[in-house]
Amino acid sequence: MAEIISIATAEPAYQHLQADICKFMQASYQLDASESRKLKFLYDHSGINTRYSIIADYNAALAVHDFIPLQKDHPFPDLEQRMEIFEREALSLSIESINKCINGVINAKAITHLITVSCTGMSAPGLDLQIMQSLELPSTIFRTSINFMGCYAAIHGLKLAKMICDSTPNSNVIVVATELCTLHFQQAFSEDNAASSLLFADGSAAVLISNCISSKKAITLKDFYAQVEDKGQTDMAWKLSSKGFLMTLSSYIPQLIEADVEQLIVNALAKNNLQFSDITHWCIHPGGKRILDLVQRKMKLSDDHLKHSRKVLFNHGNMSSPTVLYVLKEIMEATSQDNATILGMAFGPGLTMETFTAVKRS
């Protein structure tokens, strides 16, 4: 049996108000009065209040910007510079979330499997080896990395952790998802770049999944179901370039999700012999306010059903892969003494739609 024993999160030092980020974007993109008003309208209706970044530059009040030059003729950070920051900063954020996750539960030496998740930075040796060395884990530890899958990747991490727990006795699996999305800000003003800079933020989440620890707060992972909708393949994409990672984020994504989400949920429930009425908690990845609104309307969900997703969006924005784990952490804390049947869902490039089901019995 694969049980989620604990979830912990960690954020970078720099917390920015969405209103301040908007002012910074208006200046950085050098928008005229009309375009500035349009951008402000989008920020005001984003459902986001604050976001975290590993860099300070997203605050318009700063006199000096070290990472993102406001002058068009100044050189912009290249991929190498961005990856240098990722290698330095992703490790400390990951270690913080892991230590908080295992604190009071197990010693780091008891970790048997390590799964790292990220789509905003890659290197070899990579984050998995850095964590292994920093925590002084055995050099023989099972470790693997889930890279470049986007917002749904943490669900793949949970899926792999369940496979390990189902097949290997005495397993304590750590899944750590760490993203530094704001490293990939692009200088050119476009619909895709504006949408990315409106939504994305930085953060880390670590999950301990075990088949040998007893906890009254534990959530049991039951099953997973995924669908890929090819018609959305070009509407959400994430590619490397010399300027950093480039996001394609079409305005049609919410409509694509709305068209397919009901059948996705019907299929996921049928696979687990569940009815719609059996679901007590909805762990929906807050990819954006429009996505949450459309899912809520399509599935006839109450405000209470999506309160955890909206809370995470409000306080953190979209951090890509850790975000759904932030929502699951909220649900886990809210149901610490209660029974729960949870349906989780996240969306990413492809267009890929991933789900998981989990239960808690008091």
pLDDT at 251 over 70: no
Confidence of residue 286 (pLDDT cuts 50, 70, 90): very high
Q: Tell whether 7 is covered by a domain.
A: no
List Cα–Cα distances, 330 to 27, 281, 349, in angstroms. Answer: 35, 11, 25
Confidence of residue 34 (pLDDT cuts 50, 70, 90): very high
pLDDT over 90, % of the chain: 68
pLDDT at 250 over 90: no
Q: Tell whether 194 is covered by a domain.
A: no
Confidence of residue 235 (pLDDT cuts 50, 70, 90): low
Confidence of residue 248 (pLDDT cuts 50, 70, 90): low
Backbone angles phi, psi at 152, to 5 degrees: -95, 0
Q: Tell whether 352 is covered by a domain.
A: yes
pLDDT digits (tens, 9 = 90+) for 98-109: 999 999 999 999
Q: Which residue has the higher pLDDT, 41 or 59?
A: 41
Q: Which residues pair with 3 in a beta bridge?
A: 210, 220
Domain of residue 269 covers 219-360
Q: Which residues pair with 354 in a beta bridge?
A: 226, 346
Average pLDDT over the chain, rounded to an integer = 90
Q: Tell whether 331 is covered by a domain.
A: yes
Across 66-85, average pLDDT: 82
What's 242's domain CATH number?
3.40.47.10
Give the model's pLDDT for residue 238: 67
Q: Tell whether 110 is covered by a domain.
A: no
Q: Rounded to two decimals, what is the model's pTM?
A: 0.95
Q: Tell whether 58 is covered by a domain.
A: no
Cite the beta strand spans of 197-311 per DSSP E: 202-210, 219-228, 236-241, 244-249, 281-284
Give the model's pLDDT for residue 193: 83
The count of structural domains within the chain is 1
Across 177-204, average pLDDT: 90
Q: Which residue has the higher pLDDT, 172 or 63?
A: 172
Give the model's pLDDT for residue 38: 93
pLDDT digits (tens, 9 = 90+) for 49-74: 999 999 998 887 776 777 887 776 77
Q: Which residue has the higher pLDDT, 247 or 205?
A: 205
State the Cα torsion 157-161-163-166 to the nearest 10°: -160
Q: Which residue has the higher pLDDT, 124 or 93?
A: 93
DSSP 239: E
Q: Which has the minimum average pLDDT: 109-123, 132-146, 340-354? A: 340-354
**Best CA proximity match to 111, nearest among 173, 160, 170, 177:** 173
Q: Tell whether 288 is covered by a domain.
A: yes
For residue 138, what are its two tokens?
């055995």
pLDDT at 256 over 80: no
Q: Tell whether 39 is covered by a domain.
A: no
Give the model's pLDDT for residue 219: 96
